[in-house]
Chains A and B, each alone.
Chain A
Amino acid sequence: MSSSVFMEKLDNGLSIFLKEIHSAPIISCWNWYRVGSRLEKKGYTGLSHWVEHMQFKGTKKFSGVYMDRIIAREGGLWNAFTHLDWTTYYETLPANKIDIALDFESERMQNSTFDEIEFESERTVILSEKEGKENDPLSRLSTNVTRSAFEYHPYRNEVIGEEEDLKRIKRDDLYAHYRNHYQPSNALIALAGDFETDIIFEKIRKLYDPIPSNYIHNENILPEHTIQRKEEIEIHGPGDTTFMQIAYRSPAASDPDFFAYTILDSILTGPASLNMFGGGGTSNKTSRLYQNLVEKEFAVSVYGGLQATIDPHLYEITVIIHPEKKPEIVLDRIDIEINRLISSRVKRKEVEKAIKQATALFSYGLENITNQAFWLGYSEMFAKYDWFINYIDHLKAIRIEDIQRVAQKYLNPDHRVVGLYIPEKDQEVQV
């Protein structure tokens, strides 16, 4: 990041991050809440995501149709995302229209109505969204692998929620979830773009300062540091393609091991971009697994990655198996490469390449104001903003022996889940 970031906290606990960028007459505004599927209890999965949907349905002051219309007619973008650890709402607008975003977001932090009819209508919309996900074999496989990789941690649940929960949840369950978590001290507002910090801060203060906060942080979530046992699961479905997904435990983003793991992933399966908006990536054809699996015609494609999360999550390697090869042979070859990482040090050249790749992908993200605003808040959801600022320096500080140590610690074949999607052409689905 080039220019400095203004950070302030209001008396009610709301964190404010502002970054002036004057390259285009645009401002992107993000409102983050520290609530996602991680905070959902059994029987009530999907609450956070459903709340996110309802936030577009209207408040005491503004109807959903009105908000949508006003942003659209200015040529603006707005949307929201619900994740494991957080929910976020953003608007990118012409700079002189940013008051619209501030008005709407401060209003829906506290005054969304959760109309009963809208709530019921949205139930079928979300069930439809879930059905769309389940059409995808890889999505189904990933859901099953993730569930098997956690014994008790809420990360085992789908963000969208279980079907039976989605059919049972009542409007008041949803509203209570909203009121509990949508409070200034559980939120962060981040803006980047063409503004003057003093002026925009004053606007934010005026709108958000009167919102009271009585948020009680009563999280009692035990992290799951290891996958308890070796597990192999198989699901069956239509098609011609065999998919394999292997999940190992990954550390929390705030854990120093996360950065060595990122380099390890880059060497094993290729670099992954951190940017959510724009940027772009690079291919992974020179990664170790691509060379060993795809070039040797054991697989059609391979990729991997880990997510930045509060608690330990998963490092996943996904493979499309070559039609003429057996999955167990492919798994053997993957294990050979994993063992290579565990038993011998990687080359300095490979680490330097991974760092150069990360630096380039990081730079691509700077083109886009929406992406820069996203990063202001995102890193605060699982660590601190410094995590992002120092990201490249952290990678550069990784020693070769760190990568081997991380491989030994996490890539243990006795503590992983191997999932297979076996195609059954013209047959009914069996799970």
Chain B
Amino acid sequence: MSSDTINWKHLPGENNVSRFVLPNGIIVLCKPDFNSPSIVISGFLHGGSIQDPGDKLGLASFTSYALMRGTVFRNVKQIYNDLESIGASFGFGASVQTTSFGGKCLSEDLPLLMKTLTESLLYPVFPVTQVRKLKTQIISGLQQREQDTGEVASLRFDEILFPNHPYGRPEDGYVETVQRISQKDLINFHKRTYGPKGMVIVFAGSIEIQRANDLVYEALGGWENMDWQPPPEVPYYSPLSETVEEFIPVEGKYQMDLIMGCHGPARLSDDYLAASIGNNILGQFGMMGRIGNEVREKSGLAYYASTSLNSWMQGGSWEITAGINPINYKKATEIIINELIRFVDEPVNDEELEDAKSSYIGSLPLSVESNNGVASAILRMERFGLGLDYLQKFPENIEKISKQDIQNTAQKYINPKKLAIISAGPRSSEKN
């Protein structure tokens, strides 16, 4: 699609998203849209699993899940009865540097969502019985994760790529580290890491800007936390010095999950857009790009085979994933490595480049079709300091990317002789 056929002013941007900063540092962003009677709230605070003690990995996530298990004003049953009675949803979660929250309701019920957010952030009590129940639920989830071949491979992949590093540790922790977490840990973690400075709240949907600002001001304008400790900087990590190839047997399974890859650019790196377009060509475009075409379409070796670029504040990963029968492991990895060699050694062709650019630009309106999509887009712009004009300038920035930019980026990050190649699943003799 050529850029002149899309009304770019319709996308979230400076002309239709308001930004308001409270004296205590909370940032409120709002994009009104009255096409449906619902509204989405989404946001984050600074603080996350990077602050987990090594022997209590999973503490940030555990704390975030426990916020709604009882507050000074309402017990867990009252909190969820209020939400579920109106068909609303609300929840918290944690990642490396942030604790996020999000919810949805009919616009008439927005005060309840704000009350839930405020009580959970400021007045959680972490009741002992609820902490115990939640711990059992988290551990059950972690035990199920141990049986998920994709998750097992992904965890090991992150450990190899980011050894002893926050990006290499699972935000949900491990069974043994979650076992060690107590109510006291949750209380202390909350006290130290939850504060208003830099907190972001996005409203998307059926709400006027002034009302959004007033609601946040009334609910959270007076919040201060003198004990708050900002999350530390994400440390540097070393590049892979050689290929690391590991197989993790998971008994009783039928399919093997394969993850291959290397480090990728940070979200604010100058390489990011070129890497994104390159990644689209390599394993995203249409039916999963070059990799999907070779592994699935031509060879019939997998139901899925694609690539992803995961870019964070201080770095990232570039991953190729596939679900295969273990007897096809060697063939599939060879095909993928050959595609990586081609990607690094040869520039992409004109047609591929134009297709990928067109796809990137054309998909923008679809990505912000719903309130959730709009809120996520605004949140990303704020989180990474991209500027509210980011989406509206996106087409011209994409158009600037050249074949050489993509090849330079590929050569900078991908060395087909220095990859992490992790697989998990049955041994080849087990199934066949």
Kindly name the residue among B83, B254, B361 whose own CB sees the greatest number of chain A CB atoms within 10 A.
B254
Q: How far is the CA of A387 from the CA of B252 in the complex (A)?
A: 44
Q: Is B5 within 8 A of A94, CB to CB?
A: yes
Whether B255 pairs with A367 at a CB distance below 8 angstroms is no
- Considering the complex, which residues of chain B in the window 346-388 have a beta carbon less than 8 Å from any beta carbon of chain A? 354-355, 358-366, 369-372
By a CB distance below 8 angstroms, the chain B residues around A368 are 369-370
Q: Is the CB of B140 within 8 A of A367?
A: no
Number of interface residues of A (CB under 8 A): 79
Q: How far is the CA of A125 from the CA of B148 in the complex (A)?
A: 20
Name the CB-closest residue of A to B431: A131
Most chain A beta-carbon neighbours within 10 Å: one of B36, B88, B252, B285: B252
How far, in angstroms, from A294 to B133 measured CA to CA in the complex?
A: 8
Q: A74-B362, A241-B143, A356-B87 are in contact. Are A135 and B80 (CB under 8 A)?
A: no
A358 proximal to B (CB < 8 A): yes
Of the 9-residue stretches A23-31, A145-153, A165-173, A246-254, which lies at the interface with chain B? Answer: A23-31
Q: State whether the Cβ of B193 lies closer than 8 Å to any Cβ in chain A.
A: no
A307 to chain B minimum Cβ distance, whole angstroms, is: 21
Give the shortest distance, in Å, between A406 (CB) and chain B (any CB): 22
Q: How far is the CB of B252 from chain A (nearest CB, A)?
A: 4
Q: Pick out which of these stretches binds chain B: A9-17, A203-211, A278-286.
A: A278-286
Interface with B: A64-72, A178-186, A409-417, which one?
A64-72
Interface string of A93-129 (1 = CB under 8 A from B): 0101100000000000000000000001111111111
Is A24 a contact of B146 with CB atoms below 8 Å? no
* Chain B residues near A357 (CB-CB < 8 A): 84-87
B108 CB to closest chain A CB (Å) equals 10
A73 and B359 in contact, given A125-B302, A128-B303, A297-B133 (Cβ under 8 angstroms): yes
A245 to chain B, nearest CB (A): 15
| CB nearest neighbor in A for B132 | A297
Complex contacts, A286 vs chain B, CB 8 Å: 77, 80-81, 84-85
Q: Say yes or no: B5 contacts A96, CB within 8 Å.
A: yes
Q: Does B323 contact A (CB under 8 A)?
A: yes
The segment from B176-184, B228-236, B293-301 found at the interface with A is B293-301
Interface residues of B in 208-264 (CB under 8 A from A): 250-255
Could you tell me if B37 and A363 are in contact, using CB atoms closer than 8 angstroms? Answer: yes
Is the pair A360, B86 in contact by a Cβ cutoff of 8 Å?
Answer: yes
User: When the two chains form the complex, which single residue of B84, B148, B366 contacts A75, counting CB atoms closer than 8 Å?
Assistant: B366
Interface size range of chain B in the complex: 35 or more
CA distance in complex: A123, B365 (Å): 36
Known: A237-B252, A238-B252, A323-B136. A74 touches B35 (CB 8 A): no
Residues of A within 8 Å of B81, CB to CB, are: 286
Are B1 and A71 in contact (CB-based, < 8 A)? no
Question: Is the Cβ of B38 less than 8 Å from the Cβ of A363?
Answer: yes
Inter-chain contact A75/B363, CB cutoff 8 Å:
yes
Chain A residues 330-373 with CB under 8 Å of chain B are: 353, 356-361, 363-364, 366-370
Residue numbers in A under 8 Å from B296 (CB-CB):
125
Q: Flag if A353 contacts B85 (CB, 8 Å).
A: yes
Output the least CB separation between B331 and chain A (Å).
Answer: 11
Q: In the assembled complex, which residues on chain B have CB atoms less than 8 Å from the CB atom of A56?
A: 287
Q: A75-B359, A283-B80, A368-B369 are in contact. Are A322 and B36 (CB under 8 A)?
A: no
Q: Which residue of A lies closest to B137 (CB)?
A: A300
Cβ of B77: which chain A residues have Cβ within 8 Å of it? 285-286, 291, 295
Neighbour of A121 across the interface among B106, B136, B297, CB < 8 A: B297
Contacts of A136 in B (CB 8 A): 148
User: Is A161 at the interface (CB under 8 A from chain B)?
Assistant: no
- A360→B431 CA distance, assembly (Å): 46
With A74-B358, A353-B84: A367-B36 Cβ-Cβ less than 8 Å: yes
Chain A residues with CB under 8 A of B97: none
Q: How far is the CB of A44 from chain B (nearest CB, A)?
A: 21
Residues B325 and A131 in contact, CB atoms below 8 Å apart: yes
The answer to whether the Cβ of A428 comes within 8 Å of any Cβ in the partner chain is yes
- Among A128, A132, A278, which residue has the most Cβ atoms of chain B within 10 A? A128
**Is A429 interfacial (CB-CB < 8 Å)?**
yes
CA distance A68 to B354 in the complex (A): 15
CA distance A339 to B203 in the complex (A): 44
User: Does residue B324 face the partner (Cβ distance < 8 Å to A)?
Assistant: yes
Q: Which of B154-170 contact A (CB under 8 A)?
A: none
- Whether the Cβ atoms of B300 and A121 lie closer than 8 Å is yes
A123 and B363 CA atoms in complex are apart in Å by 31
Q: Give bound CA distance, A270 to B80, whole Å.
A: 12
* B10 proximal to A (CB < 8 A): yes
Given A73-B358, A132-B303; A25-B325 close (CB under 8 Å): no
Which chain B residues in 370-417 approach chain A with CB under 8 Å? 370-372
Q: Which residues of B contact A (CB under 8 A)?
A: 1, 5-7, 10, 35-38, 76-77, 80-81, 83-89, 91, 104-106, 133, 136-137, 139-140, 143-144, 146-149, 205, 250-255, 285-287, 293, 296-303, 323-325, 354-355, 358-366, 369-372, 425, 431
Known: A239-B146, A286-B84. 4 other contacts (CB 8 A): A128-B303, A283-B84, A320-B140, A367-B36
A-B contact pairs, 30 of them (CB 8 A): A25-B10, A65-B293, A74-B362, A77-B366, A92-B366, A125-B303, A126-B303, A132-B254, A135-B148, A135-B149, A135-B254, A135-B255, A240-B147, A278-B369, A282-B89, A283-B84, A285-B76, A286-B80, A286-B81, A286-B84, A297-B133, A301-B137, A323-B136, A357-B85, A361-B87, A366-B37, A367-B369, A368-B369, A369-B369, A429-B252
